[in-house]
Chains A and B, each alone.
Chain A
C-alpha cells in the first residue's frame, strides 16, 4: 500500500502546447472567427464538389438519349451517334466530368444543345429574375414573421399567441401549389386585380408589386409559420429566463426588458434560420415559378429537366446549390458573430 501511494508522479510540469491537429489553426492565427470561416469555406467547397458530381451523374442516367431528344424521333441511329460524338458523350464519364467541371470553373458553361444559346448568360438572367421574387418574399417575410413571432412570445398562451400560432401552422400546412392556385383563382380570375402570369418587372416598386406580389405570397405562407414559431419560442424562452428576471428586478419596464435583454438573445437563432431559408427560397421557387410561369431559375430547371437539356440543368442546379451553400455559410458565421461566446472563443 505504502509503495503505491509513494510519489510516482513525473516531475515535468505540463506547459500548454498545441495539440497535433491544431497546426492549421495556429497558422491562421488564434482568432476563432477566422478559423471558423476557413473551416466553413472548406466545407462549402466540398459540398459543391459533391453536388456537382451528383448532378452530373443524375443527368447522365436520366432516361432518354441526349442526341435522340435533340434530333427527334425520326433521326436515324447514325445521326444520333454522330451528334453524341460531337457533344463528347461517347467519352468515358470521368473524362466528361473533368472537362465539364474545368470549363465550369473557368466560366465556360457550354452551349445549350436544345435552345442553341450560351448557357451562362441565360442561367444568370434567370437567376436575377428569381432574386427579384425571392427578395420581395424576404422583404415581406422578415418583418411580418419576426414581428408577429415576438408578439406571440410576449403574449405566450394568451389569445394573440394562439391566433398567430394557429394561422402560422395552417399556412405552413398549405402546399405552395394549393395556395398559389387559390390566389390565382381569387385575385386574377375573380377579382382581376393581378396577373396570373408574372412578367419580369422593371425596377419600379409598382411594377414589382404588380407582377410579383401574387407569386411571392405562397412563399410567405410557407416560411411565415416556421420563422414566427422560431421567434415565438426564442422570445418566450428568453422572457422566462433568469436574466430576464434579473432585468425586471433591476427596475426595468417590460418593453425595456424586451428590447435590451430578450431580443438580443432570442433573435440569434431566428436570424440564422432566415439565412438558411434564403437558400430554400431560391430552391423552392420551382413550383411557384412554374405556376405563375415566371422566367426564373426554378422554371429554367424544370424546363431543362423535361427537355433533357443537360448543360442547362447542371448549371442551374449547381448555381442553386451555390446560393444555398453561401446562405448556409452565412448563417453559421452570422450565428458566431451574434453570439459573444463564439465570437470571443470562450474561455
Chain B
C-alpha cells in the first residue's frame, strides 16, 4: 500500500514469523500433508495476502497460527513465532492471553460465527471482560465505542441486537469490531467477504482499509480473490497444494507473476470489459491434487505449461528471482512470456469441433431478424406473504430472450432475480403478467422439455443416491423421445463428451466428484433433451476461479453447438459482462437498466449499475478514488416509496423529484435503456469521468 510504511518497519522484528511450517491431517491411519514447508513473515503494520484456490491449505495455515487445528491435524515441523514467542510450545494460558487480545480473527460466513443466542454487545464486551477485566457496564461502553468505529450509526442500539437482526454486512462489521476490540498486533482475515453481495463486500473492504490506517495492526488476509488481495495487501504469498509457490510485493506478484500457477490464475478470471467474443478464458487444465496425493516433484507440474523432467523429481525451493520476487519455479524467468500470451483471441473451443461463437453485433442482427423471442415476459409480478406482510418480489418485469441469446440478469441478493427465474421456469405461479414461450410449449411437461435450469449448488441439485448415469438417463427419458436403448446410449455418450466428462464419471455418485464436475453433470442434465432455453442461476458462484473459467467456456461452447438461449443470473457483473449479449439490472423487483451488454456496462447507465460496477474489486480495475459507495442499509423489499426505489441510496439523486416521482425510461444511442430522471446526455457527462471503462 504505502512504500514508506513498508520500509520503515523492515528493521524491526516481525509480528509473525512462520518458518518451514508443515501441517498434516490423519485420516484412516494415513498422514495427509496439507501444508508443507511454508515460510513467511509479516512485519508490524504490514498486510500480507495468502491466495490460492480452495483446498490449497490457506485456512489450515490460519488455524495453525492460532493453534486451533482440528483434532485430526498435527503440526509436523517448523516454527511459528508471534512477537518473538513460540506459538507451538506456548502454554494454554499464554495462548488464551493472546487469542482475541494480541491475535484476532475474522471468518467467512459471519452469520454462523456469531452466537445466535447472545446479544452482539455482550459478545464484543466479552473481549474486554476477559482481557481487560472490565466490569459489565464498562465493557459494554467500550463495545459501543468499537461499534461506532466500524461505522454503525447508533451503536448503543446495536448492542442490544441479536445477530439475526443484522444484515450480512452488519454481522461482518460486528465481527471486525470484536476482532479489533483489544487492538491486536495481528489480525487474521479468512475470506471475510466471500458470500457477501458485491456492494456489501466493497463496504467491508473499505472499512478494513480505513481501520488499517487507524490501527497499526499487522494483517494476514486470506482470499481466493486476487482482485481484493491486490487492493488490500502489501505482500502476497501464493499457496498451491500446501506449498508457497510464489511470494513478493503484491504489485509485482499479481502483475508480473513468476510462477505458472499464479499466471494461470490471472488468465482464467474475466477482467472488466472482457467479452466472450474477443477473448476466451483459459481454465487451468487438470485438477488440484487431492490431500496426500501431491506428486513427488513440483505439485503444479502435471498442470503446468512449462513442465520439464526436472520439475518432477523434487519440489523446487522458493528462491529469489533476480530482478523480481521469490518463486518456486525452475523456469521462473520464462513465466512473464506465458502471462503475456494473454492477448489470444477467442479461439475455437479446445475440441475443435464447434464453430467460434459469432460476434455480438452479427448475433444481435440475427436475433432482430428471428423476430420471435423464445421467451417473452411481460409485466410479470410476483407477490408473496411473509410474516403477515405482503411483499412484492418481482414487480412488473418485462424482458424477452431471442433464440441463441444470453441474457444476463444482475442485482444484489433480494433483488428478485431468482424469484423471476423461478416464475419463468414455472416453479412458482406468477401473481400477474404474462410469460409467452414459443408456441406449443405451454403445458407443464412441454415446458420442461423446452426449458431447463442449472442451479448454484450442484450438491443439492443432484440426487446423491443415484449414479451419474441414472441421473442423466432419467433426464433423457423425461423427454418423451421414442428412441431405442442403443440410440439412447449413443446419445448419452455424446452428451457426456459435450460437457467434457469422461465415461467413468457415469458410474459414480455425485459425492465422488469435485464441485466443477458436479456442475458439469448438472449442465449435462439440463442439456439431456434439446432445450431451447437454459436458466442458469449463479452456476459458477460456488466454484473456484479456474473451474469457473472451464464452466463458462463450456456454456459458451454448448450455446454455439446447440443454439440454446441462456438466462444467466449472477451477482458478479464481470462474469455477466463477459458472457451475456444483453444485460438486465434488477433492483427491488424491478429492472432498472436493460440493453446490450457493452451499452449497459458503459456510461450512461443507471446509477445503480454504476455503483455495482465500481464495487467489484476486480483485477485490472484501479480507480480507488472514484469508487462509489452506496448507503449501507438497503431498503427492505416491499417497502416501496412513491418515487424511484433507489433514490435513498443513490449518489446521483436529484432530491425531491426522485423521492416523489416514478422515474421515466430513458434510452441512450447505444441502446441502453434505464429508469432515471437524469437524461442520457447529462448522465454521460456525470459518469464519463467516474467509470474507467
Across the interface, which residues of B come within 8 angstroms of A247, CB to CB? 115, 126
| Given known A-B contacts A4-B376, A5-B673, A340 and B116 have beta carbons under 8 A apart | yes
Across the interface, which residues of B come within 8 angstroms of A246, CB to CB? 107, 113-115, 175, 178
Is A17 in contact with chain B by the CB < 8 A criterion?
Answer: yes
The segment out of A114-122, A163-171, A248-256, A287-295 that lies at the interface is: A248-256
| Given known A-B contacts A16-B389, A18-B390, A247-B115, A260 and B126 have beta carbons under 8 A apart | yes
Across the interface, which residues of A come within 8 angstroms of B127, CB to CB? 250-251
Is B632 in contact with chain A by the CB < 8 A criterion?
Answer: no
Across the interface, which residues of A come within 8 angstroms of B126, CB to CB? 247, 250, 252, 260
Across the interface, which residues of B come within 8 angstroms of A256, CB to CB? 130
Task: State which size class the interface on A falls in.
Answer: 35 or more
Which one of B101, B109, B388, B642 contacts A19 once the chains associate, using CB atoms below 8 Å?
B388
Which residue of A is nearest B402, CB measured? A1
Across the interface, which residues of A come within 8 angstroms of B66, CB to CB? 249
Nearest Cβ in chain B — how far from A236, in angstroms?
13
| Cα distance, A7 to B664, chains bound together (Å) | 8
Which residue of B is nearest A343, CB measured? B162
Per-residue 0/1 for A286-324: is the Cβ within 8 Å of any B Cβ (1 yes, 0 no)? 000000000000000000000000000000000000000
The segment out of B91-99, B218-226, B493-501 that lies at the interface is: B91-99
Across the interface, which residues of A come within 8 angstroms of B673, CB to CB? 5
Is B460 in contact with chain A by the CB < 8 A criterion?
Answer: no
Nearest Cβ in chain B — how far from A79, in angstroms?
63
Within B70-112, the residues touching A (CB, 8 Å) are: 96-101, 104-105, 107, 109, 112
Nearest Cβ in chain A — how far from B383, in angstroms?
8
Which one of A7, A18, A268 contacts B675 once the chains associate, using CB atoms below 8 Å?
A7
Which one of A261, A268, A341 contacts B115 once the chains associate, using CB atoms below 8 Å?
A261
Nearest Cβ in chain A — how far from B98, in angstroms?
7
Which residue of A is nearest B639, CB measured? A16
Across the interface, which residues of A come within 8 angstroms of B662, CB to CB? 11, 13
- Majority-rule SS of B interface residues: mixed
The segment out of B281-289, B313-321, B393-401, B555-563 that lies at the interface is: B393-401
Is B456 in contact with chain A by the CB < 8 A criterion?
Answer: no
Interface residues of B, count at CB 8 A: 66
Is B594 in contact with chain A by the CB < 8 A criterion?
Answer: yes
| CB–CB B99/A13 < 8 A | no
| CB–CB A242/B107 < 8 A | yes
Which one of B115, B130, B397 contacts A264 once the chains associate, using CB atoms below 8 Å?
B115
Is A178 in contact with chain B by the CB < 8 A criterion?
Answer: no
Nearest Cβ in chain A — how far from B137, in angstroms?
18
| CB–CB A8/B379 < 8 A | yes
| CB–CB B378/A22 < 8 A | no
Is A14 in contact with chain B by the CB < 8 A criterion?
Answer: yes
| Cα distance, A6 to B396, chains bound together (Å) | 11
Nearest Cβ in chain A — how far from B443, in angstroms?
23
Across the interface, which residues of A come within 8 angstroms of B97, CB to CB? 251
Across the interface, which residues of A come within 8 angstroms of B638, CB to CB? 14, 16
| CB–CB B162/A341 < 8 A | yes
| Given known A-B contacts A6-B665, A13-B641, A18-B389, A1 and B400 have beta carbons under 8 A apart | yes
Is B590 in contact with chain A by the CB < 8 A criterion?
Answer: yes
Is B685 in contact with chain A by the CB < 8 A criterion?
Answer: no
Per-residue 0/1 for A21-45: is the Cβ within 8 Å of any B Cβ (1 yes, 0 no)? 1100110000000000000000000
| Given known A-B contacts A11-B662, A16-B638, A249-B105, A241 and B398 have beta carbons under 8 A apart | no
| Given known A-B contacts A9-B396, A11-B662, A16-B391, A243 and B115 have beta carbons under 8 A apart | yes
Is B310 in contact with chain A by the CB < 8 A criterion?
Answer: no
Across the interface, which residues of A come within 8 angstroms of B594, CB to CB? 5
Per-residue 0/1 for B661-693: is the Cβ within 8 Å of any A Cβ (1 yes, 0 no)? 010110000000101000000000000000000
| Cα distance, A272 to B639, chains bound together (Å) | 36
Is B502 in contact with chain A by the CB < 8 A criterion?
Answer: no
Across the interface, which residues of A come within 8 angstroms of B175, CB to CB? 246
Nearest Cβ in chain B — how far from A267, in angstroms?
10
Which one of B107, B367, B396 contacts A1 once the chains associate, using CB atoms below 8 Å?
B367
| Cα distance, A268 to B107, chains bound together (Å) | 26
Contacts A/B (CB < 8 Å), 9 sampled: A1-B368, A7-B665, A16-B639, A243-B114, A243-B116, A252-B96, A261-B115, A265-B117, A340-B162
**Given A251-B97, A251-B101, A251-B127: 13 more A-B contacts, CB < 8 Å:** A1-B367, A7-B398, A7-B665, A8-B378, A9-B379, A9-B395, A13-B641, A14-B383, A18-B388, A245-B107, A247-B115, A250-B99, A265-B115
- Pairs A-B, 5 closest by C-beta atoms: A9-B396, A13-B640, A22-B388, A250-B100, A251-B100
Residues of A within 8 A of B (CB): 1, 4-11, 13-19, 21-22, 25-26, 241-243, 245-253, 256, 260-261, 264-265, 268, 338-341, 344-347
